[in-house]
Amino acid sequence: MRVYRAGRRPWWHFAIVATVLAVVGLLLAGYFLSQDSADRIPPDVRVAGIEVGGLAVDEATALVRQAVTAERRRTIELVYPGGELETTPGDLGVAPRVDAAVERARSSRGRFSRLWARLGLAGAVDVSLDLSARPRRVRTVVDRLAEALERPMQPASVERQGDEIVVVPARVGLELDRSTVYDRLLELPQRVELPVTQIQPTVTDDEARRAQELAQALVSSPPAIVHEGTRLTLSADVIREALRFEPSSTTTIAVALDAEVLRPSLEEAFAGLGRPPVDARFRVRGERVEIVPAVQGSALDVETTVRQLVPNAGSVEVPAVFTPVDAGRTTEDARAMGIVELVSEFTTPYPCCQPRVRNIQRAATLLDGTIIEPGAELSLNEALGERTRERGFVEAPMIGADGRLVDAVGGGVSQVATTIFNAAFFAGLELIQHTPHSFYISRYPMGREATISWGGPELIFRNDWPQAVLVKIRATDTSIRVRFYSTVDGRRVRTTTSEPYDEREPTVRRVVNEALAPGTERVVQAGGVRGFSVDYTRVVEQDGEVRRRERFHVEYQPEDTIVEVGPGPAAETAGDAVPGVDPAAPPPDQGT
């Protein structure tokens, strides 16, 4: 058993005290050391692999920035067949934030970690630095590469250059694989093999030379175009102007001639050799109608004729092509109209050899052969047109607005209107608009008549039957006859006319004429028929069933005696008539 003497300590007490004092010393040293090194990068610290430990912040920043600048300026080789380009990481958007990375490096260790690092007791720290490319900048670089390297494929072609026909050589196209280049540039490599694909021309130079030779043969010896003894040889200048070279497929060139350029020459050479078509027409045989068949015509087919020239280059001649031309109204069309028989007719007489007869005959000529399609309306004014001297009409008497007969161009055509009205009446057609004369004219049926004038009155009726109506008119020196041909189709027309009633006697009307000597008078129009009213009816039947029932009422004015008087006392008793015609009065009846 050991015995410790008073006043003495064991040795291990001193060891413990020494250890504690050493640790405290180290802690104090580390603390003061860390305080002294706050403006420096801790030991064993790197930025993107660059050793910056122990450096002042400014020194570390300059060192890292120098390395980054070198990296941004580094050349990336871009190699392609036949050449080389280059770019840099800076072009690709590499732009790291150096200051932020250095700051992260400075603060990467705590106070005691710095001490342990100095003592070699802590691991190394590597602060990352963003050195990656930016996708948008990479795409921009790729687009610029494509713009510099790519070119469209150009097929060989043939052109006219003045009087020469020349070959434009083919050119190989180049196409950059943009997607592959983009992916590789994102990796920031040292070298990139640019994948450039060659696009071979679809039309070769040999094919262009073949088309050139064909065109030259056509210019130097074009075939003559012949038809029925007519022979046309086109000049080299005209052929050359008409030449066209167009791709006919993906690999060939078509040599063609523009038909519109050659059309004037062909149409002039072969003018009159075609035949105009003749429409089917109707020939009346008494009460029946025969169809005169249509005649097919022929016309020069410029396009087809021209198409023969190229494949026959070097030949002696080719035929001009004439194609059939159908008539506007074929035989089948005429047959389908149903115009086969007489359905109504009407005749009115007139004295021979008056000027109005010429107007009646001229109107008959213009209207003869008119066809009214099913459902169509006929306006007599539209069908006749304006009555003028230039169109063959002359002056003749007509009923003026004041009831006086006056001369006017076209006078007398109302007799045509009345005769056509009655033919339409008895054909059972729909009567849309008609106006009787202002006083009764004995050569017309009472009430059942019509007058017309340019601008009104008007005569309009509609063909409301399923077949067309053919209008045939014959005007002799003493009468006009109108016949309507169609299909009877069970139609029947009945009419009645009342006796005249409410008769009114004509009067004497005196009209002042300043051109007459004072106190004199003259009769300019002898009085005529009385005025009266009359009614008439029409019943249209089809197969015994009533299709239309109508009643018409007409009031005729008396035909007064008109006396012109000179100025003076007699003029004061001239009644209520005044010289001239009221401008607001309705248009006069045209013809009588």
SS3 content of the chain, % helix, strand, coil (to 5): 30, 30, 40
Does the pTM of the predicted model rise above 0.75? no
Q: Per residue in 521-542, is it b (16+ CB within 10 Å) or e — as a string?
A: beeebebbbbbbbbbbebbbbe
Q: Report yes or no: 152 and 170 within 8 Å, Cβ to Cβ.
A: no
pLDDT in tens, 438-479: 889 888 999 999 999 888 899 999 999 999 999 999 999 999
Cα–Cα distances (Å) from 467 to 51, 337, 376, 479, 490, in that order, read: 110, 6, 11, 29, 12
Which tokens go with 1? Answer: 């058993």
C-alpha closest to that of 371 among 459, 290, 468: 468
User: How far is Cα 360 from Cα 345, in angstroms, rounded to an integer?
Assistant: 17
Q: Report yes or no: 485 and 342 within 8 Å, Cβ to Cβ.
A: yes
Backbone φ and ψ for 548, nearest 5 degrees, come out as -155, 135
C-alpha closest to that of 155 among 168, 145, 143: 168
- Which DSSP symbol is given to 296? -
Cis peptide before 42 (omega within 30 of 0): no
User: How far is Cα 241 from Cα 229, in angstroms, rounded to an integer?
Assistant: 27
User: How far is Cα 507 from Cα 502, in angstroms, rounded to an integer?
Assistant: 16
User: For position 248, what pLDDT does the model report?
Assistant: 73
387 Cβ neighbours under 8 A, 6+ residues apart: 359, 363, 393, 409, 410, 413, 454, 590
- Which DSSP symbol is given to 149? H
- Which DSSP symbol is given to 97? -
User: How far is Cα 138 from Cα 140, in angstroms, rounded to an integer?
Assistant: 5
Residue 548: strand, helix, or coil: strand
Is the pLDDT confidence value at 579 over 50? no
Which tokens go with 256? Answer: 């063609």
User: For position 1, what pLDDT does the model report?
Assistant: 42
Return the percentage of the chain with pLDDT > 90, whole number.
51
As a whole number, the mean pLDDT across the chain is 85
Backbone φ and ψ for 76, nearest 5 degrees, come out as -105, 115
Cα–Cα distances (Å) from 48 to 97, 135, 424, in that order, read: 12, 21, 110
Is the pLDDT confidence value at 525 over 60? yes
Greatest CA separation found in the chain? 194
Backbone φ and ψ for 525, nearest 5 degrees, come out as -155, 120
Is the pLDDT confidence value at 178 over 70? yes
CA atoms within 13 Å, Cβ hemisphere of 180: 10
Residue with tokens 């008396």: 558
pLDDT in tens, 90-133: 998 888 888 888 888 788 776 656 666 566 656 678 888 888 88
Is the pLDDT confidence value at 15 over 80? no
User: How far is Cα 107 from Cα 203, in angstroms, rounded to an integer?
Assistant: 69
Least confident interval from 40-44, 309-313, 340-344, 523-527: 523-527
User: How far is Cα 30 from Cα 73, in angstroms, rounded to an integer?
Assistant: 42
Which tokens go with 66? Answer: 């120098």
Residue 590: strand, helix, or coil: strand
Q: What is the enclosing helix (H) or strand (E) of 483? A: strand 479-486
Residue 275: strand, helix, or coil: strand
User: For position 118, what pLDDT does the model report?
Assistant: 62
Residue 153: strand, helix, or coil: coil
Which tokens go with 68? Answer: 């980054």
- Residue predicted with more confidence, 559 or 255: 255
User: How far is Cα 342 from Cα 289, in angstroms, rounded to an integer?
Assistant: 8
Angle between helices 98-106 and 57-72 in degrees, nearest 10 = 140
Cis peptide before 457 (omega within 30 of 0): yes
Backbone φ and ψ for 541, nearest 5 degrees, come out as -120, 155
Single-letter amino acid code for the residue at 379: S
Cα–Cα distances (Å) from 131 to 61, 66, 128, 178, in that order, read: 16, 14, 9, 23
26, exposed or middle or buried, with CB in 10 Å at 0-12, 13-18, 19+?
Answer: middle
464, exposed or middle or buried, with CB in 10 Å at 0-12, 13-18, 19+?
Answer: middle
pLDDT in tens, 193-249: 999 999 999 999 999 999 999 999 899 888 899 998 899 999 999 999 999 998 777
